Structure 1
């Protein structure tokens, strides 16, 4: 059971983001109907560690095995999405891809339940040119922290 619940006027999420890199590129995804991009990942399940969530989500969505390398960011994020207020706690892990995955320039597809997810490798140097959320990633992925950082984000 995902840790995501409606509380009062908003929604609380507990999420893991996955940072998969290939040379100077990072893997991003979006729902087929969204305008913005995000890191792959998903909601943490009850009694599941955030690191295990990273591994599970990549297997579910892309059928690829990954190994967690390290936690880069732990965030508390306040934002609106589709007219709803969110309070989200998220762990962002850098991972190593252990299995075959498409590494070309074109978009490719994965699934999350019934939803189609669009994936694409983006040059890190060009992240400022795309709509990427949370927005701190546009700069943060250019200069990965040497130690885990805690961020509060109010978008």
Structure 2
């Protein structure tokens, strides 16, 4: 069971995400019908730690085994999505290793879940011209912190 709870006042979501960079690019994804980008990852399951969740999500979505390096950001993210207020706790980890090399390609591509999610390696210098959520990532992905940062985002 996902740690996502729907109430009459909004949605609480616990998410983990991967910061995967290679050759001056970062791997992003978006819902096929959305115009904004985000980091790949997903919802943490009840009773599952965030690192295990991230490894599971990357395997399910992209078919790759990943090693989770270190926690970069802990976020409290408040936003509206499709008319519903969200309160999201996000844990953003760097990942690395040869296991991500098969994902390296030019242009958009789809993962194992079909055409629901569009993935693409985006040059870091193009981030300012894109809509990326949470918004701190446009700057944060270019300047990865040396230690874990706690960020509160109200969008």
Q: If the length of structure 2 is used for normalisation, what is the TM-score? A: 0.95
RMSD of aligned C-alpha atoms?
A: 1.3
What are the within-5 Å matches in structure 2 for residues 3-152 of structure 1? 3-99=3-99, 100-112=101-113, 116-152=116-152
Note the alpha carbon deviations across 1:78-104, whole angstroms, 9 max, x for none. 000111100000100000144242312
CA distance in 1, matches of 2:110, 2:115: 10
* Offset, 1:60: 0.2
Equivalent-residue separation in structure 1 for 2:57 and 2:46 (angstroms): 14
TM-score normalised to structure 1 length: 0.95
Unaligned runs of 5+ in 1: none
User: C-alpha displacement at 1:115, in angstroms?
Assistant: 6.0
The count of corresponding residues between Structure 1 and Structure 2 is: 154
Moved over 6 A (4+): none
3-state SS of 2:102 partner: coil
Contact 1:65 1:98 in 2 (8 A): no
CA contact (8 A) 1:4 1:13 kept: yes
